[in-house]
Amino acid sequence: MNEPSTLVLCERLAQALLARGWMLASAESCTGGMIAAACTDLAGSSQWFERGFVTYSNEAKQEMLGVEAALIAQHGAVSEAVARAMASGAVRHSRARVGVAVTGIAGPTGGNPQKPVGTVWFGFQVDGRLTSEMRRFDGDRAAIRAATVRHALERLLERVG
């Protein structure tokens, strides 16, 4: 079975968001803006993509999204709690009704036995409902980041569509 391309996923997401009159905001750490880039590769994306936050450092997560320092200290930047706070912060600090957040370890360094390279936490806030999930992806840095973008778009589409 052929998987839809990232562009096709973005087109479907655009249709679903436009049908509801909703905007999307992204909050990205390990992907460094790749979700926003994928969305804005689509012409006319300003009708449904509101803004993207690249919050690679802990300070950026705090300053741009309002993630509490204590939350990061207690759970680590790569955690369910931080992904959820990032997603709700993206919505709170934008005009969007939908927020997606990713925080993970793309490697090749930075992993540990509890959080190996490839661990990514996702946060989704859709029309006031906050959900999260964790995935572990295999491969090198580029493969992990690409898989993270694809997974984020697929799950957004499920939640919005």
- Identify whether the C-beta of residue 148 lies closer than 8 Å to the C-beta of residue 120: yes
31 in helix, strand or coil? coil
Q: What residue spans define the domains of the chain?
A: 6-160
Can you say whether the dihedral through the CA atoms of 90, 148, 71, 63 is positive or negative? negative
pTM of structure = 0.97
**129-136 and 119-126 as β-strands: parallel, antiparallel, unpaired?**
antiparallel
Instruction: Indicate the residue type of 32.
Output: G
- Token readout for 10 is 């973005």
Domain 6-160 part of CATH 3.90.950.20: yes
Per-residue pLDDT of the chain (161 residues; tens, 9 = 90+): 678 899 999 999 999 999 999 999 999 999 999 999 999 999 999 999 999 999 999 999 999 999 999 999 999 999 999 999 999 999 999 999 999 999 999 999 999 999 999 999 999 999 999 999 999 999 999 999 999 999 999 999 999 98
